[in-house]
Structure 1
Amino acid sequence: MGAAAWDGFLNDQDNWPAASRAEASKGSMTTARDTLGDRTFIKRKRMSQEERHLQILQAAVKIIATKGFWGMSLQDISDELGITEAALYHYISSKDDLLNMVLPECYDTPDEDEYNAVTAGFVDADGHRIYCYPRYCLNIVLYNLQRPELVQLYSVLNGEALDPEHPAHHFFIGRHMRQWEMICSVNWLLPPGMTEDRFYDLYTLAMSAMDGLQYRWLGDDSMNLLEQWMSLSDIIFPESEWKGFLDPSEHDPKQETDCMLPLTLSVRA
């Protein structure tokens, strides 16, 4: 990819979580990535309501990511926490209630949106905040590298929720369009000729490719997710079309003299 700001990412794995790093391939064997092995819970005699709530969420992520929603029980959660199942019912009323806590609080959070957007944007000469979609997609990958256990949780639940009887079915069926509505609210700097219909197809392609890579990454601990995504980015966002639209680093605010708003989809539409 031609954006200079992307050059150092592949060589900076020292600060990645252990489960996110590319491991040396072990002969012909392919082993699953250990996303949950370092998760521990410390039993404390007294906890505030907020501390217990967070502990329950962390335990639920670990158990559901391993067993799925159908396979886990509230006894599994209470065993993980070191409390009785009766004590757990002081905080949740059912498995469905637990799932309804996990989905909005652990995935698609405001913190995630802020992380993914903050370094994908720049301010043009007229003070408009403009965003680069290829960098936004890269930021999603960088963010998910920091939370492999939640990527596994999402992947397991997404597969289970194909069943219309699954309590998360409507959450996952509607997620693509909910995310698209959010995407449509952003001032994306897009190449000339990019219509809303074409951008929707591009968004669908990018997110589908990312989901597919993440499934492979979870199953193969020798895979470098970031390297694979940047390689695909050359195809999804070819430099011949996207040069100048890839990354904020391509626009020096000290030299920028033009209003970029006319190059965004919201104005063009």
Structure 2
Amino acid sequence: MSVAAWDRFLQEQDSWPAASRVNDSTSYGTQARNALAGKTFEKKKRMSQEERHLQILQAAVKIIAIKGFWGMSLQDISDELGITEAALYHYISSKDDLLNMVLSECYDTPDADEYNAVTAGVNDADGHRVYFYPRYCLNIALYNLQRPELVQLYSVLNGEALSPEHPAHSFFIGRHMRNWEMICSMNWALPEHVDEDRFYDLYTLAMSAMDGLQYRWLGDDSMNLLEEWISISDIIFPPSEWAGYTDPSEYESSDAGCLLPLTLAARQ
């Protein structure tokens, strides 16, 4: 990708969390990424309700990411926390209740939405906030590099939830359209040939490619997720068509005036 603003992400790989970095070993054997290394829980004599709630969520992420929902038991969670299963029931009502907590609080969060959007947008000369979709997708990759254990959790549950009997089936089946509704609420600068139907197809392609790359990244410790995503971006968003619509930096330092004529909303 020819966007200069993206080069620094490749040059700052030493700042990534250890579990997200590419293995520099000279061995060429495929090794699964250890997304959950070093997870321990400090035992405290007294915890606030909020502290215990967070600790339970952290333990659930770890156990479900390894065993899946079907393979996980509440005894596994209580063992991880160093409490009795009876004590765990003071904070949750059932195994399904624990899964709902994980789904609602751990992956698709306001913090994730803010991270993905904040540096994908720019305020134009008239004060309009306009977003650039290729940079938004890059931000998803950057954010997920910081949370490999949650990406593993998502991947395991997404596979399990293909079964209609899984309690997360509706959540994952509906997730694509829920996120699309959020995307539609944002003001995107898009090339003239991209109408709403085309944008939906691009959104579907980009998110499907992201999911596929993340599966490979979790399974192969030698893979560089960020480099792979930037390379694929050239195919999904060809520079010949997307020049000027890729990153806010293309407008931040210029006197571009009002950007609304470049947006999908203005053309509809």
TM-score (norm 1): 0.98
SS class of match (2:37): coil
What is the match of residue 206 of structure 2? 206
Alignment of 1:196 with 2:196, yes or no, is: yes
SS class of match (2:222): coil
SS class of match (2:19): helix
Alignment of 1:263 with 2:262, yes or no, is: yes
Alignment of 1:60 with 2:60, yes or no, is: yes
Cα distance in structure 2, aligned partners of 1:169 and 1:26: 41
What is the match of residue 170 of structure 2? 170
Cα distance in structure 1, aligned partners of 2:245 and 2:223: 28
What is the match of residue 133 of structure 2? 133
Residue type of the alignment partner of 1:196: E
Q: How does 1:169-248 map to 2 (within 5 A)?
A: 169-248=169-248
Residue type of the alignment partner of 2:20: S
Residue type of the alignment partner of 1:124: D
- Structure 2: give runs of 5+ residues left out of the alignment: none
Compute the displacement of 1:62 (Å).
Answer: 0.1
Give identity over the alignment, percent.
79
8 Å contact from structure 2 (residues 78, 85) kept in 1: yes
Residue type of the alignment partner of 2:213: L
- Structure 1: give runs of 5+ residues left out of the alignment: none
Compute the displacement of 1:112 (Å).
Answer: 0.4
Cα distance in structure 1, aligned partners of 2:218 and 2:256: 45
Cα distance in structure 2, aligned partners of 1:214 and 1:134: 17
8 Å contact from structure 2 (residues 122, 252) kept in 1: no
CA deviations over 1:213-262 (Å, ceiling 9, x no partner): 00000000000000000000011111100010000100035x32421112
Please give the root-mean-square deviation of Cα atoms over the aligned residues, in Å.
0.9
What is the match of residue 14 of structure 1? 14
Residue type of the alignment partner of 1:231: S
Structure 1 segments (4+ residues) deviating >6 Å: none
Cα distance in structure 1, aligned partners of 2:204 and 2:7: 26
Compute the displacement of 1:25 (Å).
Answer: 5.1
Residue type of the alignment partner of 1:267: A
SS class of match (2:130): strand
SS class of match (1:130): strand
CA deviations over 1:10-42 (Å, ceiling 9, x no partner): 121111111100113553421100000111110
Residue type of the alignment partner of 2:148: P
Alignment of 1:109 with 2:109, yes or no, is: yes
CA deviations over 1:76-97 (Å, ceiling 9, x no partner): 0000000000000000011100
What is the match of residue 48 of structure 2? 48
Residue type of the alignment partner of 1:234: D
* Pair 1:257–1:242, CA change in 2 (3 A): closer
